[in-house]
Chain A
Amino acid sequence: MFDPLQIALKVSASGLEAQSKRLRVVAENLANAQSTATTPGGDPYTRKVVTFESEVDEAAGASMVKIGGVERYQSPFRLEYSPGHPAADASGYVKLPNVDMMTEVADMHEANRSYEANIQVIKQAREMIAMTIDLLRSN
């Protein structure tokens, strides 16, 4: 692949894919914000975070972005005193997921902004390609 505009399209497409995976993880976190353990005293759902990695595409010779991995976020669980809860431990405390709604929403907005930016690059590249092809038509 030689056309830099086509490569730009490909790179932006990889950005779109990475951001959609990130949004998927945010959705999992938000949906599981109240998921407790199934056994008394067990660990609840753990917040997941994505890491981004740069990856050189051999065919295009350009740096794509990809999701490096989906990791468990290391932070303490919230404790709630609720002795009757099925997941409560011996002293009556239930461990709740370490998901913070505000953080997730901020993460979601960042994914959205990044997605928009990549879309803009695609639009621009397409416009430039179309303009160049139009050179053939205008006479």
Chain B
Amino acid sequence: MFDPISATSQVGAASSAADGQGVTLRGASLAAPGDAAPDFGAFLAQLASNTADTLKAGEATALAGVRGQASTQQVVDAVMSAEQTLQSAIAIRDKVVTAFLELSRMSI
């Protein structure tokens, strides 16, 4: 299960059905043992670090462009892909946080 949100719901179902263990987001592996599902925190961390890497690459290319070592197209390309990664990271984060809040508002 790759999607942490779906994994979370599975964990919730599994724990409520069986032994009443706390519904924790970190317990995604409970639902599918052996399946290397990333937990919520790791997922966000990886998303952030990937985004940071792309942004750094964009900045480096922009600097190289100012120094005259990269063409205009390369600079625009790098900055555009950085912007795109940032946009999608923000959209995914917003969605995930919304889902998380939705989950926390669930009546128990």
Contacts and interface: CB of A to CB of B under 8 A. Distances in A.
Given A126-B84, A133-B87, A133-B88, A13 B73 contact: yes
B53 to A, nearest CB: 16
Contacts of B80: 9, 126
Given A17-B71, A129-B84, A9 B91 contact: no
B38 to A, nearest CB: 19
Interface string A108-139: 00000000000000000010011001101100
A136 B95 contact: yes
B77 interface: yes
Contact of B73 (A20, A126, A129, A133): A20
Nearest to B77: A13
B92 interface: yes
Assign chain B's interface to a size class: 10 to 19
A17 B73 contact: yes
Nearest to A13: B77
A20 B71 contact: yes
Nearest to B80: A126
B87 to A, nearest CB: 6
Contact of A136 (B71, B81, B94): B94
A16 interface: yes
A133 B91 contact: yes
Given A126-B84, A129-B84, A136 B91 contact: yes
28 contacts: A9-B77, A9-B80, A9-B81, A13-B73, A13-B74, A13-B77, A16-B73, A17-B71, A17-B73, A20-B71, A20-B73, A126-B80, A126-B84, A129-B84, A130-B84, A130-B87, A133-B84, A133-B87, A133-B88, A133-B91, A134-B91, A136-B88, A136-B91, A136-B92, A136-B94, A136-B95, A137-B91, A137-B94
